[in-house]
Structure 1
């Protein structure tokens, strides 16, 4: 069991650290190889894209760090299906990023980059508040009810969904829109599973759920 716990920290931590380093190299290449920026709009789109990539690097480094020091779970979801859904929800939007972006205008690139950067920063703030309770599979470690979590129960997912809207806008592809729809459905199922585990462990969870929104206050 101790070996399994260690692997549960080391493997995801190493994955996100490697991903952060790869994105850092890509950002360095982008900055080194950039051509002359012909006008202000093109320059703004370039720097907005760089800002988003930098935010992603910081976010991945935070994930790697918190996975390395996360607490042992008090309880985990009993089924393999819940883990499959969680993994699919975590990584499916990578299909959009692998496909690359369409030849969109600088204005669209700016809007997409701002949305993606905003979503990433929001997720990073939620991650810092979640801290050592971070997990991919539905698991209960401790109940976090402060900061963003005092208002909404799943702020990291909200940030990821917001950032994913920017990815779809940048790709301008029906396939990307379909992947995003599947991503949202998977995340909703993840919320169901996570809330079920937390409710089974923490007696105060029902009261917490009653006074908070799942994602958007007053709407959902």
Structure 2
């Protein structure tokens, strides 16, 4: 599915090379899906149906994104800059996790270094920033609905992850030190 999506997005980019946000959307999706292939086996994983739906929907939402141009609320360079910032933050967060990255909620050990010193779920902050960058340049009803659902799925995913991780004393201690989940001062 990822390769079909990437092919469609790259073909649209080839037809309109100024739409760099398409290439960055593909890059972000490839990083997320690709790194999940190298994750460490978890101590405990949440296979419940709702956790599965939140995780799969929150990961593969890009398949529903409308790739054709929409209303451009900000210049392409502004959207692309936000996407790059989000991607770099995701890479920092994923680097902080090392091989503890995965798609389904799981306990692969508590990580509190790197990006995890600032918020408990920094990857989702990176996704949010990159997604906003794409949406602002490729705005339309379909993309607004897709990203609205994406954000709701990620909140559900975070809640599920925290339910599972809160059984770990180390995570409860970490939660006491790092107050916010994704956006400092907000959530």
TM-score range, shorter-chain basis? 0.7 to 0.9
Larger RCO (CA within 8 A; separation ≥ 6): 2
CA RMSD between the two structures: 3.0
Distance (Å, rounded) in 2 between the aligned partners of 1:166 and 1:77: 31
- Rg (Cα) greater in structure: 1
The offset of 1:206, in angstroms, is 1.3
Q: Deviations over 1:87-124 (max 9, x none)?
A: 0111224322x43222648x621111111121112112
The offset of 1:174, in angstroms, is 2.4
Q: Which moved more, 1:208-217 or 1:142-151?
A: 208-217
Query: What SS does the corresponding residue of 1:219 show, helix, strand or coil?
Result: coil
TM-score (ref. length: structure 1)? 0.71
Distance (Å, rounded) in 2 between the aligned partners of 1:55 and 1:89: 14
Distance (Å, rounded) in 2 between the aligned partners of 1:191 and 1:207: 17
Q: Deviations over 1:52-108 (max 9, x none)?
A: 7368537725752x4343211101114122111110111224322x43222648x62
Please list, as runs of the form range in 1=range in 2, the aligned pairs for 1:1-220 lying within 5 A after superposition: 18=3, 22=7, 26=10, 30=14, 46=18, 49=20, 53=23, 57=27, 60-61=30-31, 63-64=33-34, 66-96=35-65, 98-102=66-70, 104=72, 108-200=75-167, 202-212=168-178, 213-220=180-187
1:102 and 1:170 in contact (8 A); partners too: yes
TM-score (ref. length: structure 2)? 0.82
The offset of 1:34, in angstroms, is 7.3
Residue segments in structure 1 that go unaligned for 5+ positions in a row: 1-14, 36-45
Q: How many residues align?
A: 185
The offset of 1:20, in angstroms, is 9.9
The offset of 1:175, in angstroms, is 2.6
The offset of 1:140, in angstroms, is 1.0
